[in-house]
Structure 1
Amino acid sequence: MKLNFNIQPLNTWAKVTKEPFLIAGPCSAETEEQLVATAHLLAKTGRVSVLRAGIWKPRTRPGEFEGIGSIGLEWLKRAKAETGLPTAVEVATAKHVEEALKGGVDVLWIGARSTANPFTVQEIADALRGVDVPVIVKNPVNPDLSLWIGALERVNNAGITKLAAIHRGFSSHEKTAFRNEPMWDLAISLKTHAPDLPIICDPSHICGNRELIPYIAQKALDLDMQGLIIESHIDPSVAWTDAKQQLTPSALDEIMSRLEIRKPGAGTAEVKDKLAILRNDIDKIDDLVIQKIAERMQIVEKIGNYKKDNGITILQVNRWDEILQKRTAYGAALKLSKEFTEKLLELLHSESIRKQTEIMNKDGISGSEQEHLTHA
């Protein structure tokens, strides 16, 4: 389902100094000297389009540094005057919006914690009515596409047409190399639902450490995201917040110089023709895959009827374990990742259970069978 956002293209409201579009600056504005000095070094690279800095910091626990507050807006104003860089800050309340706009901030963003709360987003949206300012909405902390879309819709419904999304990764119980799991599929889903909505990637918050930032930045560009927002500090070793994920301006410049910019649909006629042939091959295979899945489900229905007639439970744990082990091994031999094969098999298994449950429920299902399904 396509979403009907009333938005302007990124290049109509954001000056792209040098591709890709880059928002950069310290996680937190700490002192006037720190912010202005960082801004000068970032401007000197010629790569930064917008200077960012946290003024109000929503922290997980009380007692942590929660931002320098409104005085930081004056520092941003000075940095802008001296470097010419437009400025961006996070807003989490209507009062933040009012103060930021009064302080001449050019771009506002809504943070992940705020996006997770529709009441907060609506308060911010109401404060934005009648204002012509770019607003960027981060994904919520938890992997919930509807919450992300809902926040974007609330802001858009308030009349904000200079709108974009920030993909900053999602909280996960699993311990991995990332601070926040990228879960690229959710960002891709948003792009599929709203093809004209610019999406900017936040490698700093996805990675949680500076070493992984080049990899995530390149991945984001390869997925046709329109820009990056990266934290940069004049001396990350003494940063008051998120020291491990911040880069010096020179390190950021080095990373940006190594990124490869690829264009969607770009290439010679010969390249396009070759892609068309390969994509046609994929289409044929996809059609065949769907046909075979349909045939598989027809056999599943026959099995379901046989189980019903013979009083056999739907779930056969031993059989499922056998399928899982054999098919993942086969997939690995064919160079398919174990994770992908398991997810595919789980989807097929879930649909098979659903179909057989429908068959069992035509005339009711026994208590013992229902118990087996519950544990499935």
Structure 2
Amino acid sequence: MKQTLDIVPLTSWFDTDEAPLIIAGPCSAETEEQLVATAHLLANTGKVNVLRAGIWKPRTRPGEFEGIGSIGLQWLRRAKEETGLPITTEVATAKHVEEALAAGVDILWVGARSTANPFTVQEIADALRGVDVPVMVKNPVNPDLSLWLGALERVNRAGIKKLAAIHRGFSSYEKTSFRNEPMWDIAIQLKTLVPDLPVINDPSHICGNRELIPYIAQKAFDMDMQGLIIESHIDPAVAWTDAKQQVTPQALYDLLANLTFRHAKSDDPIFEDKLAQLRVDIDKLDDQIIKILSDRMRIVEKIGEYKRDNNVTILQVSRWDEIIHKRTNVAQALKLDKDFTVKLLELIHNESIRKQNEIMNTKPVAEA
């Protein structure tokens, strides 16, 4: 079910065209020289729309660098004056909001840890009442779409119409190549629920290392995201925070120059006609899939009744192993991805277990 947010287009934030919004700058403002020098190099690329820098840094453990503090706002302001770039920083308290706005910060963002706490988001939202400033809300640390949407709603209800989401990936117990799992499906769900909401991708925090950033950045554009927020430092090797995921301004220029920005729609009527026909074919196959699944579940119900009547357990591990082995072999022969096949089979199996469990807890018709 679609959600309604009272928001304005991303292009109305500044005098921009429909090109993607590129936000870049160091993870942390460390020194005035570091921040201003980085800002000039980023401005010189001609590809950066907004300068970012962390002033207050929420850290997992005490004793780590927690940001330079309020003095960094003056450095950001100087960078803005010298380069002409609008500036943005993270806020986590009402005091942060007040200080950032007083310093002329053009865009605020709510971090992942803050998004996870409705009390914190509400405090920030209350501090924003009566203010016309763009706000970006990062997804929460854990994969919870409701928390993300709820944070956006709280900020929107405070009167903020220049609103965007930042997709920065989610924490996962499973260790992979990424610092935070992209879990694109959650970002897609958000875009589906709120079609007019701009979504900015944060490949730096998803990747955790600079080598993977081009891959994620391109995928973000392919997924119809409206911009990127990338960490860039004049000398990443000596950065005080997140050194591995920051890129130099020159590397950022090269990265952006090699990305392909795709349009959500085509103006070519021939293309649209062909796409429409292909979608009709997809719809027919989807209908067949749903019908086959329905037929399968009816057989599952009969199996459940038979197991119940013969006092046999629902779960048959050997049978499940057999299904996984046979079906994945068939799927690979048909050039279907193995991981996709296993996930699909698991969904079907879980629903089969649920149906059989319902049947197990009902009496046969003859005994009712």
TM bucket, shorter chain: over 0.9
Count of matched residue positions in the alignment of Structure 1 and Structure 2: 364
Deviation at 1:39, TM superposition (A): 0.7
Q: Is the 8 A contact 1:19 1:47 kept in 2?
A: no
Deviation at 1:17, TM superposition (A): 7.2
Q: Which amino acid aligns with 1:224?
A: D
- Which whole-Å deviations, capped at 9, do the CAs of 1:273-325 have from their partners, x for residues lacking one? 21111111111100100010000011111111212222222111111111111
- Which whole-Å deviations, capped at 9, do the CAs of 1:342-367 have from their partners, x for residues lacking one? 11111111111111122122239xxx
Q: Distance in 2 between matches of 1:35 and 1:15?
A: 25
- Which whole-Å deviations, capped at 9, do the CAs of 1:146-186 have from their partners, x for residues lacking one? 11111111111111111000000111111111111111111
List aligned pairs for 1:266-281, cutoff 5 A: 266-281=266-281
Q: Which amino acid aligns with 2:81?
A: A
Deviation at 1:18, TM superposition (A): 8.2
- Mark the runs of 5 or more structure 2 residues left unpaired by the alignment: none
- Which whole-Å deviations, capped at 9, do the CAs of 1:15-54 have from their partners, x for residues lacking one? 4478321000010011111111111111111111111000
List aligned pairs for 1:73-112, cutoff 5 A: 73-112=73-112
- The reply on whether 1:123 has 2:123 as its aligned counterpart is yes
- The reply on whether 1:285 has 2:293 as its aligned counterpart is no
Q: Distance in 2 between matches of 1:17 and 1:189?
A: 26
Deviation at 1:14, TM superposition (A): 3.6
Q: Distance in 2 between matches of 1:14 and 1:186?
A: 28
Alignment RMSD:
1.2
> Residue 137 of structure 1 aligns to a residue in which SS?
strand
Partner of 1:263: 263
- Which whole-Å deviations, capped at 9, do the CAs of 1:82-135 have from their partners, x for residues lacking one? 111110000001110010011110000000111111111111111111111100
Q: Distance in 2 between matches of 1:194 and 1:234?
A: 37
Deviation at 1:267, TM superposition (A): 4.7
Runs of 4+ in 1 over 6 A off after TM superposition: none
Q: Distance in 1 between matches of 2:18 and 2:50?
A: 11
- Mark the runs of 5 or more structure 1 residues left unpaired by the alignment: 365-376
Q: Which amino acid aligns with 1:130?
A: G
- The reply on whether 1:8 has 2:8 as its aligned counterpart is yes
> Residue 130 of structure 2 aligns to a residue in which SS?
coil
Partner of 2:70: 70
Q: Distance in 2 between matches of 1:15 and 1:106?
A: 13
> Residue 254 of structure 2 aligns to a residue in which SS?
helix
Q: Distance in 1 between matches of 2:205 and 2:16?
A: 22
Q: Is the 8 A contact 2:11 2:18 kept in 1?
A: no
TM-score normalized by the length of structure 2: 0.97
List aligned pairs for 1:253-332, cutoff 5 A: 253-332=253-332
Task: Choose 90-99 or 321-330, whichever is displaced more.
Answer: 321-330
TM-score normalized by the length of structure 1: 0.95
Q: Distance in 2 between matches of 1:147 and 1:280?
A: 35
Task: Choose 15-24 or 238-247, whichever is displaced more.
Answer: 15-24
- The reply on whether 1:222 has 2:222 as its aligned counterpart is yes
Partner of 1:247: 247
